[in-house]
Amino acid sequence: MKGFLKTFFASLLAIVFAAGGLFILVVILFGVISSMSQPLPQVVNGSVLVFDMSASIQDRPVGMTRDAFIDEAIGGQRLRKISLRTLTRGIRAAASDDRIEGLLLTGSFAVEGYGSGFAALKEVHEAVEVFSESGKPVWAYVVYPTARDMYVISAADTIYMNPEGVVSDTGMSMSYPYLGGFMKKYGVGVQVTRAGDYKAAAESFVLEGMSEPSREANAAVLEDFWSEYLSVIANGAGIEAAEYERMLNELGMLTAVDAERLGLVDELMFTDELIAALRKVSGVDEESNSFRQTSMGDYLLDKVKPMYSSDGFVAVIYAEGTIVNGEGNEGQVGGSGLARVIRKARQDDRVKAIVLRVNSPGGSALASEVIQREMRLAKEKMPVVVSMGSVAASGGYWISAYADRIFAQPNTLTGSIGVIGVFFNYEELAATHGVNFDTVKTTEHADLMAQFRPKTEREMSLVQRHVDVIYDSFLAKVAEGRGLELEAVAEIAEGRIWSGADALELGLVDELGGLGEAIAYAGEQADLGEGPAVMELPEARNFLQDLLSGVSEQAADAKANLALRPLVDLYREVSEISSRFNDPKGVYAVLPYTVVVD
C-alpha cells in the first residue's frame, strides 16, 4: 500500500505540473493571437516622438515583436533591447517626417553584456544632433541621469530635470574581478602562459590585483575615453570641461540644483509641468489627457522597414559577444556559426560588399582564425569593411585585421594583440573531498589537457611554445593585413589595449566613424552609392524563437526559490566562464572578463 500511495501521489503531482504548464501555454497562445489581431500602431500626426532610453542598445538586429503579453502572462519584466542601426535610422527619419513635431528623450540606458557602450551611444548622440539640426526641437527629461544618459542628452536643445534628481555621473573607471585568492582558497588550480607583457586576461585568475603594465594600459585608455566624454558634455552645455571635472571632484554626484547652476540642465520641473509644457506644443491627446505623442517603438514599427534593391546589397554582419568555438550561445560569437554566415554572404550574388560590425573582446584563438579565414576569402570577391563598436580587441581585432578599411570611434577599445593560455585543474579541490584520479596512458602527454591534475614544468614549456607560435602568427597577420612592418606591430602589440583615437595614430584603424560611415564607404566601393540597401546578418530571431526564449527565461525565474537564486546566479556565472573558455588548445586572444567603462 505504501508503494501504491507513493506512486499515486507522484503521478498526481506530475498531472498537476502538466496541467499548470498547459494552462501557461494556453495563456501565452491566447496572448499571441490577441497581439497578432491588433492593428499596427499608428504615428499620430503632429505628435512628439518619445524615446524612452530605458533599454539596452545592442549592435545586432532585434526582432520587432510585441512581447508585452509574455510579461503579463508570466508576471515578469524583460529588459528592452533596441538595435543601434534601427534606432539611428528611426531618429534620422523622424527629422524629416512631417508627422513629428519634436523629440523627447527620457529614461535611463540599461547595460547588458556589450550593449549601450559609449561607442554605440556616440552614434545615437549624432543621430539626435541630426534631428536637432532639422529645426525641430529636442527635449530631454531626466531624474537620475547616468554618464551614458548625459552623453546622449547633451545633444538636446533643452534639458529638464526633476528638482529632486541627481546626476549619477562620478567619472569613469575600469574594474575587473581578480580571482587569485578565491582559487587558492577553494583549491582550484590555475596555470597560465602568455605572449605579451600587457596581456592581462590571464592575470584575473592568478593575481589579486592589476599588474603594473595592465594598470598603465588601462589608465591610458581611460584617459582618452574621459577626455572625449568631457568634450561632448562641455560642448553641449557650453561650459569648460575643466569646470565640470572640478565640480565632480569637489561634490561627487551633482544635485539638480548643482546641475542647473553649472548649466548641465536648463530648467528644473516635475513631470506634470513637463506634460503641461509639451501639451502647448503638440496639443492634447483626449484619451490620455497628456500631450500628443508617439513612442519610439511604435514609430520604428511604422517607419523602419527592410530595404530592397535590384542593384545589390551591403551585408552588415554582426560579431557581438565573446568569440567561442562552435555555434555559440546567445550573446556569444560562435566561430563556426559566424563563419557560415560570412560564407553564405560572399556566395550570395546579391551581396556586393560586406561590413563586419565587431563588438567583441575576443576569445578562442582557433575560432577567431576560422572567422578570419572567411573574411579573407570574402575580400577576394568584394569590398570588406570593418566597423568597430565599443569593444573590438584581441580576437575581435584578429577577425578585423584583413579588412580593406577599418572604422572605429574615438572611444572604441581595441588592440590587445596578444595570446594567453589558461588551464584549470581541480586536483586539490577533489582531494579535499576524498576524490583521487589514477591514469594509464599510451604516450607521455596523452593527458596533457586533463583538468584533474596540474601540468608539469615540461608541459607548461610545451604550451608556452604553442602560445608563442600563435602570437607570432597573430603579429604576422596584423602586419600583412594592415600593411605595416612586423617590427612596428610588435612594438604596439604585447597585448596592450588602445583607444580608437590612439589606434588611428598607430595605424591599427583607418578612420574614425560609426556604422553609418562604414556602410556608406562600402556602398561607394561597391558602386552602390553612399546610401546602399542593407542586408543585416544574422537575422533577428523570429517571433516563435523570441517567445520560447522569453518563456524559458521567465519560467525559470518564476520557479526559482528566493533562497536558491544566489546559487542559480553562481551557476550561470560559472557556466558563462566554462562556455567562454572552450578552445580545444586552451589558447585565447581575449580581454579580461567583460570590459565595462562606467
Cis-peptide into 538, omega within 30 deg: yes
CB 421 within 8 A of CB 589: no
Residues belonging to the chain: 598
Report the alpha-carbon angle 151-154-157, nearest 5: 160
**Cell triple for residue 407?**
572604422
Q: Quick one: which of 528, 525, 530, 491 has its CA closest to 510?
A: 525
Instruction: Return left, alpha or beta for 587; rule: phi > 0 is left, psi -120 to 50 is alpha, else beta.
Output: beta
Task: Report d(CA 432, CA 425) in Å as an integer.
Answer: 14
Residues annotated as part of the active site:
199, 394
Q: Quick one: which of 101, 462, 556, 153 has its CA closest to 283?
A: 101
HSE, CB side, 13 Å, CA atoms: give it for residue 492: 19
The residues with which 291 forms a beta bridge, in sequence order, are: 284
Which DSSP category does 71 fall into?
H
CB 291 within 8 A of CB 282: yes
Work out the end-to-end distance of the chain between its first and last CA atoms, rounded to an integer number of angstroms: 64
Listed in sequence order, the DSSP H helices in 507-542 are: 515-525
Quickly tell me which residue has 513637463 as its cell: 274
Distant-in-sequence contacts of 15-23, Cβ < 8 A, 24+ apart: none
Please report, as a single letter, which amino acid is at residue 504.
L
Please report, as a single letter, which amino acid is at residue 546.
D
List Cα–Cα distances, 176 to 183, 185, 223, 264, in angstroms.
Answer: 16, 19, 17, 31
Task: Report d(CA 372, CA 403) in Å as an integer.
Answer: 10
Report the alpha-carbon angle 123-125-131, nearest 5: 105
Task: Report d(CA 216, CA 473) in Å as an integer.
Answer: 26
CB 368 within 8 A of CB 342: no
**Cell triple for residue 207?**
593575481
Which DSSP category does 433 fall into?
T
Task: Report d(CA 435, CA 31) in Å as an integer.
Answer: 52
The C-alpha R_g of the chain, in whole angstroms, comes to 26
CB 363 within 8 A of CB 323: yes
Written in H, E and C, the secondary structure of 286-307 is CCCCCECEEEHHHHHHHHCCCC
Q: Characterize the bridge pairing of strands 166-167 and 138-142.
A: unpaired
Instruction: Return left, alpha or beta for 507; rule: phi > 0 is left, psi -120 to 50 is alpha, else beta.
Output: left
